[in-house]
Protein backbone atom coordinates (compact mmCIF):
# COMPACT_ATOMS: atom_id res chain seq x y z
CA UNK A 1 0.00 0.00 0.00
CA UNK A 2 1.29 3.42 -0.87
CA UNK A 3 1.66 5.50 2.17
CA UNK A 4 -0.03 8.83 1.71
CA UNK A 5 0.41 11.60 4.16
CA UNK A 6 -3.23 12.44 4.53
CA UNK A 7 -5.80 9.82 4.98
CA UNK A 8 -8.61 10.23 2.54
CA UNK A 9 -11.43 12.09 4.13
CA UNK A 10 -14.42 10.01 3.40
CA UNK A 11 -14.81 6.73 1.88
CA UNK A 12 -18.15 5.31 1.39
CA UNK A 13 -17.01 1.92 0.56
CA UNK A 14 -14.10 0.14 1.85
CA UNK A 15 -12.68 -1.93 -0.84
CA UNK A 16 -10.63 -4.79 0.20
CA UNK A 17 -7.90 -4.82 -2.27
CA UNK A 18 -6.03 -7.55 -0.71
CA UNK A 19 -7.16 -10.92 -1.58
CA UNK A 20 -6.96 -13.65 0.87
CA UNK A 21 -3.51 -14.90 0.99
CA UNK A 22 -3.14 -18.50 0.58
CA UNK A 23 -1.21 -19.80 3.42
CA UNK A 24 1.80 -21.65 2.47
CA UNK A 25 2.75 -24.40 4.67
CA UNK A 26 1.73 -27.79 5.62
CA UNK A 27 -1.85 -28.61 5.59
CA UNK A 28 -3.12 -30.58 8.43
CA UNK A 29 -3.64 -34.00 7.14
CA UNK A 30 -6.34 -35.83 8.86
CA UNK A 31 -5.83 -39.44 9.43
CA UNK A 32 -8.06 -41.48 7.35
CA UNK A 33 -10.00 -43.51 9.78
CA UNK A 34 -11.13 -45.99 7.25
CA UNK A 35 -7.61 -46.99 6.59
CA UNK A 36 -7.37 -48.23 10.09
CA UNK A 37 -9.90 -50.86 9.46
CA UNK A 38 -9.79 -53.90 7.40
CA UNK A 39 -12.97 -55.54 6.39
CA UNK A 40 -12.77 -59.19 5.73
CA UNK A 41 -16.06 -60.76 4.94
CA UNK A 42 -18.42 -59.62 7.62
CA UNK A 43 -15.75 -58.99 10.17
CA UNK A 44 -14.06 -55.74 10.75
CA UNK A 45 -10.55 -55.89 11.93
CA UNK A 46 -8.80 -53.01 13.46
CA UNK A 47 -5.34 -52.73 12.26
CA UNK A 48 -4.19 -50.64 15.11
CA UNK A 49 -4.79 -50.93 18.80
CA UNK A 50 -6.72 -48.42 20.76
CA UNK A 51 -5.32 -46.26 23.45
CA UNK A 52 -6.14 -47.62 26.88
CA UNK A 53 -6.34 -44.13 28.22
CA UNK A 54 -8.42 -42.47 25.57
CA UNK A 55 -10.45 -45.53 24.91
CA UNK A 56 -11.78 -46.71 21.60
CA UNK A 57 -11.52 -44.09 18.97
CA UNK A 58 -7.98 -43.12 19.64
CA UNK A 59 -5.61 -45.25 17.77
CA UNK A 60 -2.11 -45.90 18.79
CA UNK A 61 0.47 -45.35 16.19
CA UNK A 62 2.57 -48.41 15.96
CA UNK A 63 6.26 -48.01 15.73
CA UNK A 64 9.02 -50.49 15.62
CA UNK A 65 9.08 -51.28 19.26
CA UNK A 66 6.49 -49.08 20.77
CA UNK A 67 3.02 -47.78 20.45
CA UNK A 68 2.23 -44.19 20.85
CA UNK A 69 -0.97 -42.28 21.33
CA UNK A 70 -0.81 -38.91 19.75
CA UNK A 71 -3.79 -37.79 21.72
CA UNK A 72 -2.61 -38.18 25.26
CA UNK A 73 0.95 -39.16 24.74
CA UNK A 74 0.55 -42.64 26.02
CA UNK A 75 3.47 -44.77 25.10
CA UNK A 76 3.61 -48.47 25.27
CA UNK A 77 7.01 -49.87 24.88
CA UNK A 78 7.29 -53.33 23.61
CA UNK A 79 10.31 -55.21 24.56
CA UNK A 80 11.54 -57.39 21.88
CA UNK A 81 11.61 -60.95 23.01
CA UNK A 82 14.59 -62.99 22.13
CA UNK A 83 13.95 -64.35 18.75
CA UNK A 84 14.04 -68.08 18.74
CA UNK A 85 14.28 -68.27 15.02
CA UNK A 86 17.63 -66.67 14.96
CA UNK A 87 20.04 -69.33 14.12
CA UNK A 88 23.47 -68.77 12.99
CA UNK A 89 24.89 -71.31 10.75
CA UNK A 90 28.57 -71.48 11.26
CA UNK A 91 30.47 -71.95 8.14
ZN1 LIG B 1 -4.41 -41.75 24.37
In a domain, 26, yes or no: no
- Give mean pLDDT, residues 51-56: 87
In a domain, 71, yes or no: yes
The alpha carbon of 59 and the centre of ligand 1 are apart by a number of angstroms equal to 8
pLDDT (tens digit, 9 = 90+) per residue, 8-39? 556 677 777 777 777 777 777 666 766 666 77
Q: Give me the pLDDT at residue 59, please.
A: 83
Q: What is the tally of structural domains in the chain? A: 1
Query: Mean pLDDT for the chain?
Result: 75
Report the sign of the C-alpha dihedral through residues 43, 47, 52, 57, in that order.
negative
Q: Give me the pLDDT at residue 41, please.
A: 82
d(CA 62, CA 72): 15
The alpha carbon of 50 and the centre of ligand 1 are apart by a number of angstroms equal to 8
In a domain, 44, yes or no: no
The alpha carbon of 70 and the centre of ligand 1 are apart by a number of angstroms equal to 7
How much is the pTM? 0.41
The alpha carbon of 81 and the centre of ligand 1 are apart by a number of angstroms equal to 25
Torsion angle (degrees, nearest 10) of CA 84, 86, 90, 91: 140
Amino acid sequence: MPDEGKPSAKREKKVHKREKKQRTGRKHESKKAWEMYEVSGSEVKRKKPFCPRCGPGAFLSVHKNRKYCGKCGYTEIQKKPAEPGEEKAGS
